[in-house]
Amino acid sequence: MKSIAVIDTGYESYDYELELFHEHGYQLIIYNGPARDRKLQLDFAREAAGILVRGTSIDEEALDQMPNLKAIVRYGAGYENIDIETATSKGIRVANVQGYANHSVSDHAIALMFSCIRNLGGNSVLNFGKPARKEVFELHNKTLGIIGIGRIGSHFSRKTSALFERTVAYDPYKTAEYMQANKAEKTDLPELLNKSHVISLHCNLTDETQYLLCEAAFLKMQNKPVIINTSRGPTICEKDLLKALNSDTIHSAGLDVFEKEPPGKDQEMLLKHPKVIFTPHIAWYSDRASYELQKRAADNMLALLSGKHVDDELH
């Protein structure tokens, strides 16, 4: 019986995948060795026809070790850890799961935004009745800037539009009409950086967006904005973010993603900064989103192996 391997585990149950694949003649095998040991993970999946991955790097070296591989599906929307070009050249089909967490991530970004503005992480019973920070502002006369207004960014824009006086968005791949339909005005990046009081990132990680917020970008920020990142960690240069926090260039930062994950000792100064509120890359999660993610990943895998078209296929 051909096998499909889960090489990045972490979900409570794989009952849906087990039943679906068994019904169609595939055995689901689930890696249970040490986490983030790529050599063991790839050895485990060596004979698999399909692999389900989360964060493990699937590059040319990995692909060369799996001669029977026909399909890769990533549990999630991002796919920067998969060498799609090499996979395609080898006849291996690749898909992710798009749109499953539009509500979860946009809700989480709103939670981080309010946590930063209201300083919800910095209070103490010892100072009962006194705000821990004086710089708490209202939103009704402020401008929101959204970088990347695709599936998640558009949900975030529509949900927050009533809170702000103005919402502007930067996304070179979306039209002004699309943005207007999603309660935002199209603008360029320098204008967004200059005018916004809150800046929320919702873009994919590409060569264009890596370190999109760096020292030069922070220096363009005139309104001491709150920075929210629920997209991908390397869209922000953390060294420059820390400098912006220390120099009072920005108000605060709400982070769910980081340059290196899980964060290491060299990132402790950022994580422990009094103007930073962070969560451990969990913006994607809700009970509904988690179920949909696993179900659609399994459905996509079976479709790819069966030669069918899926909307989430990557080329």
Give me the CATH number covering residue 220. 3.40.50.720
Given a cut of 80, whether residue 255 has pLDDT beyond it is yes
Summary mean pLDDT of the chain: 96
What's at 9, amino acid-wise?
T
Given a cut of 90, whether residue 299 has pLDDT beyond it is yes
Question: Are residues 255 and 135 located together in one domain of the fold?
Answer: yes
| CA pair distance 95, 7, nearest whole angstrom | 16
- Find out whether the peptide bond into 262 is cis, omega within 30 degrees of 0: yes
Question: Are residues 206 and 273 located together in one domain of the fold?
Answer: yes
**132 band by pLDDT with thresholds 50, 70 and 90:** confident
Question: Are residues 263 and 134 located together in one domain of the fold?
Answer: yes
Token digits for 257? Answer: 């993603």
Given a cut of 90, whether residue 121 has pLDDT beyond it is no
Q: Are strands 93-95 and 313-314 parallel, antiparallel or unpaired?
A: antiparallel
Question: Are residues 112 and 253 located together in one domain of the fold?
Answer: yes
Given a cut of 90, whether residue 52 has pLDDT beyond it is yes
**183 band by pLDDT with thresholds 50, 70 and 90:** very high
Catalytic (active-site) positions: 232, 261, 281
Question: Are residues 166 and 273 located together in one domain of the fold?
Answer: yes
Question: Are residues 230 and 128 located together in one domain of the fold?
Answer: yes
Question: Are residues 132 and 176 located together in one domain of the fold?
Answer: yes
Burial of 306 (0-12, 13-18, 19+ CB in 10 A): exposed
Structural domains counted in the chain? 2
| CA pair distance 38, 309, nearest whole angstrom | 30
**315 band by pLDDT with thresholds 50, 70 and 90:** confident
Closest CA to 157 of 131, 192, 117, 206: 192
Mean pLDDT for the stretch of residues 277-306: 97
Task: Give the whole-number percent of the chain exceeding pLDDT 90.
Answer: 94
What is the span of the domain harbouring residue 202?
A: 102-278
Mean pLDDT for the stretch of residues 135-145: 97
Task: Give the whole-number percent of the chain exceeding pLDDT 70.
Answer: 99
Query: Which residues on neighbouring strands pair with residue 29, listed in sequence order?
Result: 5
**308 band by pLDDT with thresholds 50, 70 and 90:** very high
Mean pLDDT for the stretch of residues 273-299: 97
Residue 164 has a pLDDT of 98
- Contact between residue 305 and residue 70 where contact means Cβ atoms under 8 Å apart: yes
Question: Are residues 83 and 226 located together in one domain of the fold?
Answer: no
Question: Are residues 260 and 274 located together in one domain of the fold?
Answer: yes
Closest CA to 169 of 137, 139, 209, 203: 203
Question: Are residues 294 and 222 located together in one domain of the fold?
Answer: no
Question: Are residues 300 and 257 located together in one domain of the fold?
Answer: no
Question: Are residues 127 and 237 located together in one domain of the fold?
Answer: yes
Residue 127 has a pLDDT of 79
**196 band by pLDDT with thresholds 50, 70 and 90:** very high
Query: The whole model's pTM is what?
Result: 0.91
- Contact between residue 50 and residue 305 where contact means Cβ atoms under 8 Å apart: yes
